[in-house]
C-alpha cells in the first residue's frame, strides 16, 4: 500500500484552487488592461481576513483623489471626530465710545472650512460689542501655517488667472475654500454670495439670453499689479441666477477684503489698511468675537464627497504643523505622515517590511502620488476595525444611488445600494480613475475594495469608460458574495 501524506496534498490542492480563482479575478479589468491601461485591484473580506479577488494588488499607480482616503484616516487618528477650530476677532487697543484705539486682528486656527457666513457672524458680534470705528489696521493673521508656497503645477499656474476653484492656493486662513463666491443674474453686476458688494473690481457684464445672444457664462479671476479682478461675459436666462466659485490669488488677502466690506456695510469703519501678519497675537490683544467651525466629521464629509482639494491640503499641513512644532512644513514634507500611516496599516495586515508609498499631498493634485490597491485596502481595513473613527470615515463615502453624478447611478440594484465609495479622477499627465470603499455582502458582512486605472499619455480613456469595466467586475463580486 502506498501511503500519501495528506496535509501536503491538501495544501497543494488549495493552492491550485486559489491560483485558478486568481486567474479569473477581475476579468473586465483584464480586458481594459489590454488597451494599454495599468490596473491594480483588490477585494478583501473583512470578516475572514482573506483576499477575494486580486489583480496586481501591489502595483502602485497614480492615486489622484483616492489619496484623500489616507488623509481622512490620518485626521481621525490624530483628532476626535467632534473637534472644531475657532476663528476670532481681537482688538489691540482700548474701546472708547465705539472707537477701537488700535488694530482689529482676525486670527484663526487654519480652519479649512471657514465660510462667508462665519465672517458675517464675526462682523455682527463686533458691532454688538459696540465697535463702530477702528483707528488702526485690519490685521489678518496667517499663523500657524502662514502663506505656503505653491507646490503643485495647477496651483502655481492658477495664481495669475483662474477659471475654476479646484486648485486654490493654500493659506493659514481662507474663506470659502480660498475662493471668491459670486452670484450672477442677467443685466446686474455680480455680488458676493454673502450679499455684500464684491470687494474687487469687475470687468464685463452678463446679458439676458436671447435669440441674438446665447453665449455661455464665462468667469475668470485675474491678478494684475493693482490686485485681483473678475472678468465676466456671456448670458443667462431671464430671471435666473447662477452661483460661481473662482480661486483667489491670495486667500488670506481676499478674506481680509471680504471682512472689510462686511464691516463697512454694517457701519464699522476701518481707518487703516489690510495688513497680513504671521506673527503671534500681541500681548495686549483682547477677544471681541469668536466663531467655532465645523466638526472634523463634517469637514471630512465635505472633503471626500466633493473631493475638495483646499480642505485636503490645508488639513495635511495642519496635521504636520501640530505634530512637529517649529516652522511650518511644506506640503511635500507634511505628506510623509500619510505615507507612514499606509506603512502602519500594511504592517497591521501582516505585510512585514513595506516601502513607504510616494505621497506629496493629501489632495492628490500631485501626479507623483502613488498607491496600490493593497495600500488602500489596508487603510480601509484599519478604519473598519476602529469603532471610534469608522462612522465619521464611512460617512464621507458616497452610495452610488445617492451620487450627484449620473455615471455612478448606472448599474444593478446591488451596485446602487450595497456599495459606498470615494472616487478619484485626473486627466493630466495621463488619465486616472479609481474607486475605494466598501461592499456589503449578502449575509451582512463587509468587503474592502480598491481599484485604480491609469492610462498612458494620450490614451483616450475617460472615467465613464473605466467605471464601466470596474462596475462589471464589482457586480460579479456582489452576485457571488
133-162, pLDDT tens digit by residue? 999 999 999 999 999 999 999 999 999 999
**Which carries the bigger pLDDT value, residue 9 or residue 199?**
199
Q: Is residue 2 pLDDT above 60, yes or no?
A: no
Question: Which tops the pLDDT comparison, 9 or 26?
Answer: 26
pLDDT value at 331 more than 50: yes
DSSP-derived 3-state class of residue 191: strand
Task: List, for residues 240-257, the tens digit of each pLDDT value.
Answer: 999 999 999 999 999 999
Helical axes 373-384 vs 336-348, angle rounded to 10°: 80
Helix/strand/coil for 320: helix
pLDDT at 5 > cutoff 70: no
- Residue 1 pLDDT exceeds 50: no
Is the domain 86-294 a CATH 3.10.330.10 member?
no
Q: Indicate the helix (H) or strand (E) that contains 450.
A: strand 446-454
pLDDT on residue 237: 94
Its CATH architecture, for the domain 26-81+298-480, is: 3-Layer(aba) Sandwich (3.40)
**Residue 428 pLDDT:** 85
Displacement of CA 357 from its chain's centroid (Å): 20
Q: Whose CA is closest to 467, among 402, 423, 419, 430? A: 423
Question: Which string of DSSP letters, residue by residue, matches 341-403?
Answer: HHHHHHHHTT--S-PPP----SSS-STT-EE-HHHHHHHHHHHHT-TTTHHHHHTTSB-GGG-
List every span in the chain annotated with CATH 3.40.710.10.
26-81+298-480
Predicted confidence (pLDDT) at residue 405 exceeds the cutoff of 90 = no
**In the chain, where does the domain assigned CATH 3.50.80.20 lie?**
86-294
At 23 the pLDDT is 54
For range 178-186, the mean pLDDT: 95
The number of C-alpha atoms within 13 Å of 126 and in the hemisphere containing its C-beta is 32
CB distance 266 to 240 below 8 Å:
no
Q: What pairing do the DSSP bridges indicate for beta strands 207-208 and 138-141? A: unpaired
Phi/psi for 286 (5° steps) reads -135, 145
Which residue, among 121, 230, 248, 108, has the nearest Cα to 176 in the 3D structure?
248
pLDDT digits (tens, 9 = 90+) for 10-65: 333 334 333 334 557 999 999 999 999 999 999 999 999 999 999 999 999 999 99
Q: Rounded mean pLDDT of 302-321?
A: 97
Q: Which of 225, 226, 182 is nearest to 204 (CA)?
A: 182
With cut-offs at 50, 70 and 90, classify the pLDDT of residue 221. Answer: very high
Mean pLDDT of the chain: 93
In order of 437, 453, 454, the CA distances from 39 in angstroms are 17, 5, 7
C-alpha span between 119 and 266 (Å, rounded): 12
- Which pLDDT score is estimated for 429? 86
Look at residue 294 in the predicted model and tell me its pLDDT.
Answer: 98
Average pLDDT (401-413) is: 93
Q: Which pLDDT band holds residue 3 (cuts at 50, 70, 90)?
A: very low
Helices assigned H by DSSP within 24-115: 27-33, 67-78
Residue 259 pLDDT more than 70? Answer: yes
Q: What is the spatial distance between Cα 169 and Cα 172, in angstroms, rounded to a whole number? A: 10
What is residue 189's predicted lDDT score, i.e. its pLDDT? 84
Q: Give the residue among 168, 146, 172, 164 at the shortest CA–CA distance from 155.
A: 168
How much of the chain exceeds pLDDT 70, in percent?
A: 95
Q: Is residue 29 a contact partner of residue 35, using CB atoms and an 8 Å limit?
A: no
Amino acid at each position: 500500500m502506498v501511503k500519501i501524506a495528506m496535509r501536503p496534498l491538501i495544501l497543494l490542492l488549495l493552492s491550485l484552487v486559489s491560483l485558478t480563482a486568481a486567474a479569473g479575478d477581475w476579468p473586465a479589468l483584464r480586458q481594459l488592461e489590454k488597451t494599454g491601461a495599468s490596473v491594480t485591484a483588490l477585494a478583501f473580506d473583512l470578516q475572514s481576513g482573506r483576499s477575494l479577488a486580486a489583480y496586481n494588488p501591489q502595483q502602485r499607480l497614480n492615486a489622484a483623489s483616492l489619496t484623500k482616503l489616507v488623509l481622512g484616516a490620518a485626521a481621525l487618528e490624530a483628532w476626535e471626530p467632534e473637534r472644531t477650530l475657532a476663528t476670532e476677532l481681537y482688538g489691540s487697543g482700548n474701546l472708547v465710545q465705539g472707537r477701537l484705539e488700535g488694530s482689529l486682528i482676525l486670527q484663526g486656527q487654519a480652519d479649512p472650512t471657514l465660510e462667508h457666513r462665519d465672517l458675517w457672524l464675526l462682523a455682527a458680534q463686533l458691532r454688538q460689542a459696540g465697535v463702530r470705528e477702528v483707528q488702526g489696521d485690519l490685521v489678518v493673521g496667517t499663523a500657524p501655517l502662514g502663506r505656503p508656497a505653491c507646490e503643485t503645477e495647477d496651483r502655481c499656474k492658477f495664481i495669475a488667472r483662474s477659471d475654476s476653484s479646484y486648485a486654490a492656493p493654500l493659506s493659514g486662513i481662507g474663506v470659502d475654500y480660498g475662493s471668491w463666491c459670486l452670484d450672477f443674474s442677467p443685466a446686474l453686476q455680480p455680488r458676493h454670495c454673502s450679499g455684500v458688494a464684491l470687494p474687487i473690481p469687475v470687468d464685463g457684464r452678463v446679458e439676458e439670453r436671447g435669440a441674438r445672444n446665447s453665449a455661455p457664462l464665462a468667469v475668470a479671476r485675474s491678478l494684475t499689479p493693482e490686485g485681483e479682478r473678475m472678468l465676466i461675459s456671456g448670458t443667462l436666462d431671464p430671471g435666473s441666477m447662477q452661483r460661481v466659485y473662482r480661486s483667489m490669488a491670495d486667500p488670506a488677502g481676499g478674506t481680509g477684503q471680504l471682512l472689510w466690506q462686511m464691516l463697512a456695510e454694517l457701519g464699522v469703519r476701518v481707518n487703516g489698511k489690510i495688513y497680513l501678519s504671521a506673527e503671534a497675537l500681541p500681548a495686549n490683544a483682547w477677544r471681541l468675537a469668536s466663531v467655532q467651525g465645523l466638526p472634523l466629521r463634517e469637514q471630512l464629509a465635505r472633503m471626500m464627497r466633493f473631493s475638495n482639494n483646499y480642505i485636503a491640503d490645508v488639513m495635511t499641513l495642519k496635521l504636520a504643523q501640530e505634530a512637529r512644532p517649529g516652522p511650518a512644513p511644506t506640503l511635500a514634507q507634511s505628506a510623509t505622515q500619510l505615507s507612514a500611516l499606509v506603512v502602519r496599516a500594511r504592517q497591521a495586515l501582516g505585510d512585514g517590511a513595506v516601502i513607504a508609498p510616494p505621497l506629496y499631498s493629501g489632495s492628490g493634485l500631485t501626479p507623483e502620488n502613488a498607491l496600490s490597491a493593497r495600500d488602500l485596502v489596508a487603510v480601509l481595513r484599519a478604519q473598519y476595525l476602529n469603532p471610534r473613527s469608522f462612522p465619521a470615515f464611512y460617512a464621507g463615502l458616497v452610495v452610488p444611488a445617492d451620487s450627484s453624478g449620473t455615471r455612478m447611478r448606472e448599474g444593478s440594484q446591488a451596485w446602487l445600494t450595497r456599495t459606498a465609495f470615494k472616487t478619484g479622477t485626473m486627466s493630466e499627465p495621463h488619465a486616472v480613475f479609481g474607486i475605494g470603499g466598501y461592499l456589503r455582502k449578502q449575509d451582512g458582512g463587509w468587503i474592502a475594495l480598491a481599484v485604480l486605472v491609469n492610462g498612458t499619455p494620450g490614451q483616450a480613456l475617460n472615467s465613464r469608460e473605466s467605471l464601466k469595466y470596474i462596475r462589471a467586475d464589482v457586480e460579479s463580486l456582489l452576485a457571488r458574495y
